[in-house]
Structure formats: C-alpha cells, structure tokens
C-alpha cells in the first residue's frame, strides 16, 4: 500500500496556518482571563503607585534657585564634621579646631579636646577624629575629670578613650561609604 505524501511546501503551509490559528486561540483566551485574587489586586495597585512616582520624578523640574550651604567655620574637614554629626545626632557648628597648637605639649599630649575646642600639635591631624569624639562625649555631659595634668583637669578613663576612637573611625567610614 502506498501512502500519499503531500509535497513539502504544502506541509509547511499547513503547519504555519495551524500555528497562526493556535496563537489567535491562545491570545483570545488570555485576554478574557482576569485574576481577581486579593494578592494580585494589591500588587496591581502597588505597581500603579510605583509607576505614578516614576512619572512624577520624570516631570520634576528643579528650581533654579541655589540652596545655600552653611559655611563651615569650625576648622573641621567637611566630611568628618558631617560624618560625626550623622553619627552623634548633634550639630558641631560650635567646634573650633586649633591647628599647630602649642597647648598639647603643656599636658604631655599630641592633641586634646576641652569643651568645644580641639588643640592639635603640629603634624598631629591624624588625632582629629578621636578628639572630635571627645567633644561629643563632653557635649553629652558624660566626661568628668579623673585627674590633673599641669593644673588642667583631665579624664583618663580607658572606656571613654576607646569610645572616642571608635566614634572617630565610624564617622570617617560613614563619609567614605557615602552615608
């Protein structure tokens, strides 16, 4: 018995027309399907909100008026100042840094903080973050004198020293991370 085989071109046309019919059938099925589950409705609403926010941001026109940044007159580097302000939650506008100061030598130190003043001996800027930590501690009222050096009241509590170093390092890290 012989099988009748249609020419190859007729087979391809038949397959193509079947595919087109199947696609039309599938698209008509999916267009009629509506998912009314609570979860799907909530997700749809969230997506609409997100899309609206994106459109609002795209249409946002910034003002031509510049925002004035308050000048930093403390002597602190801007990045250290903002890092410590973010870390401590307090303004450090009241701080005064005295570079190349001879005062630390009078208490056998490279640098020290007293109230809102930081005194750094020549070349001792590396101690600035640590001393700024002490300014914050003093502003919080947590530092009491424990001894005296050359007539100056000093606190030599190891816990406060360690904390000041940690605070200074974290303030610098916040800046480097862009926080």
Burial string for 101-138 (b: 16+ CB within 10 Å, else e) reads bebbeeeebbbbbbeebbbbbeebeebbbbbbbbbbbb
How many Cβ atoms from other residues are within 10 Å of residue 85's Cβ?
A: 17
- What is the per-residue pLDDT for 60? 58
Tell me how far apart the 2 most distant CA atoms of the chain are, in Å: 122
Kindly tell me the burial class for residue 77, based on how many C-beta atoms sit within 10 Å of its own C-beta (0-12, 13-18, 19 or more).
middle
Give the mean model confidence (pLDDT) for residues 42-58.
77
What is the phi/psi pair of residue 46, to 5°?
A: -60, -40
CA dist 165 → 71, 118, 145 (Å)? 27, 15, 19
- What is the per-residue pLDDT for 7? 54
**What digits encode the pLDDT tens for the residues 71-122?**
899 999 999 999 999 999 999 999 999 999 999 999 999 999 999 999 999 9
Give the mean model confidence (pLDDT) for residues 37-63.
75
Residue 27 or residue 104, greater confidence: 104
- CA gap 112, 120 in Å, rounded: 7
- What is the enclosing helix (H) or strand (E) of 36? none
Per mean pLDDT, which range of 34-48, 88-102, 160-174 is the poorest? 34-48
Q: How far is CA 25 from the centre of its chain?
A: 52
- What is the per-residue pLDDT for 122? 97
Sign of CA dihedral 136, 96, 115, 103: positive
**What digits encode the pLDDT tens for the residues 117-166?**
999 999 999 999 999 999 999 999 999 999 999 899 999 999 999 999 99
Selection from 8-17, 158-167, 169-178 with the highest mean pLDDT: 158-167
- CA gap 160, 76 in Å, rounded: 21
**pTM score of the predicted model:** 0.61
Backbone conformation region of residue 151, classed left if phi is above 0, alpha if psi is from -120 to 50, else beta: left
How many Cβ atoms from other residues are within 10 Å of residue 179's Cβ?
A: 11
């Amino acid at each position: 018995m012989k099988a009748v085989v249609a020419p190859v071109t007729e087979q391809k046309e038949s397959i193509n027309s079947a595919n087109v019919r199947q696609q039309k059938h599938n698209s008509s099925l999916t267009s009629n399907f509506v998912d009314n589950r609570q979860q799907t409705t909530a997700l749809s609403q969230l997506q609409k909100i997100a899309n609206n926010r994106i459109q609002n941001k795209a249409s946002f026109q910034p003002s031509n008026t510049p925002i004035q940044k308050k000048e930093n007159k403390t002597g602190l580097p801007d990045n250290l100042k903002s890092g410590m302000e973010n870390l401590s939650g307090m303004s450090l506008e009241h701080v005064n840094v005295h570079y190349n100061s001879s005062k630390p030598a009078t208490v056998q130190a490279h640098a020290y903080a007293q109230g809102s003043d930081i005194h750094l001996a020549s070349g001792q800027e590396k101690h600035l973050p640590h001393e700024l930590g002490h300014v914050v501690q003093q502003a919080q009222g947590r530092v009491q004198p424990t001894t005296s050096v050359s007539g100056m009241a000093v606190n030599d509590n190891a816990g406060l020293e360690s904390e000041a170093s940690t605070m200074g390092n974290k303030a610098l890290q916040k800046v480097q991370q862009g926080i």
